[in-house]
């Protein structure tokens, strides 16, 4: 079995490799990655855009494989939050015909970061750097904003793994879908 991932982000690749080892139908799978464009903005600002980005990544790298995966994080509007938005990670698994989607839990960025993303059109790392939360220019390949604000209790890799696991529900239970 061959799996292709639509990213070169080491955190996303590690998350996928760790998750698939828990599934018998992926036993001995050959996993490779290809950098590809999401076809959406650098910082998606809606759930629809985030899903489209994950799907585009998966579809763009579906070549000579059984499954391809695209992972995209982005904002979505959430009523009653302090900033009006939460971040969510989407995993799209593509089998050549159908997409199998999964989402992570969602969390709210500090208000200043959300404001910089929405009003100044910065991506999350740029906004976190400009706000003074971190100086790490590679935050998305490290612990992520979630890792900083949870003080390491949830890292970007763990957050990404949630989305992958929920997408895999479809493949593990095809009779239900």
Q: Mean pLDDT throughout 31-48?
A: 96
Strand pairing category for 2-5 and 67-77: parallel
* Domains held by the chain: number: 1
What does DSSP assign to residue 5?
Answer: E
Q: Check if the beta carbon of residue 40 is closer than 8 Å to that of residue 34.
A: no
| Domain hosting residue 165, numbered range | 2-176
Cα separation of 128 and 84, whole Å? 17
pLDDT band at 141 (very low <50, low <70, confident <90, very high): confident
Return the CATH number at 34.
3.90.950.10
On the question of pLDDT at 5 being above 90, the answer is yes
Q: Mean pLDDT throughout 155-175?
A: 96
Cα separation of 117 and 77, whole Å? 13
Q: Which two tokens stand for residue 147?
A: 């890792």
Q: Which two tokens stand for residue 29?
A: 């799978």
Q: What integer best gives the mean pLDDT of the chain? A: 96
Handedness of CA 153, 155, 159, 164 (dihedral sign): negative
pTM of the model: 0.95
On the question of pLDDT at 114 being above 90, the answer is yes
What does DSSP assign to residue 174?
Answer: G
Q: Mean pLDDT throughout 2-18?
A: 95
pLDDT band at 140 (very low <50, low <70, confident <90, very high): confident
On the question of pLDDT at 27 being above 90, the answer is no
Cα separation of 170 and 177, whole Å? 6
On the question of pLDDT at 93 being above 90, the answer is yes
Q: What is the per-residue pLDDT for 145?
A: 97
């Amino acid at each position: 079995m061959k799996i292709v991932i639509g990213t070169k982000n080491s955190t996303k690749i590690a998350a996928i490799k760790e998750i698939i080892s828990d599934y018998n139908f992926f036993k001995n799978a050959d996993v490779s990655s290809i950098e590809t464009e999401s076809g959406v903005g650098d910082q998606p600002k809606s759930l629809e855009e985030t899903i489209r980005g994950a799907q585009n990544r998966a579809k763009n790298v579906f070549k000579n494989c059984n499954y391809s995966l695209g992972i995209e994080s982005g904002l979505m509007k959430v009523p009653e939050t302090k900033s009006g938005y939460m971040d969510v990670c989407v995993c799209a698994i593509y089998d050549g015909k159908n997409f199998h989607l999964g989402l992570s839990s969602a969390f709210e960025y500090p208000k200043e970061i959300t404001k910089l993303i929405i009003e100044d059109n910065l991506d999350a790392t740029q906004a976190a750097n400009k706000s003074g939360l971190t100086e790490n220019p590679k935050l998305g390949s490290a612990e992520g904003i979630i890792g900083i604000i949870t003080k390491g209790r949830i890292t970007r890799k763990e957050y990404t793994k949630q989305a992958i696991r929920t997408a895999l529900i479809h493949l593990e239970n095809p009779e239900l879908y």
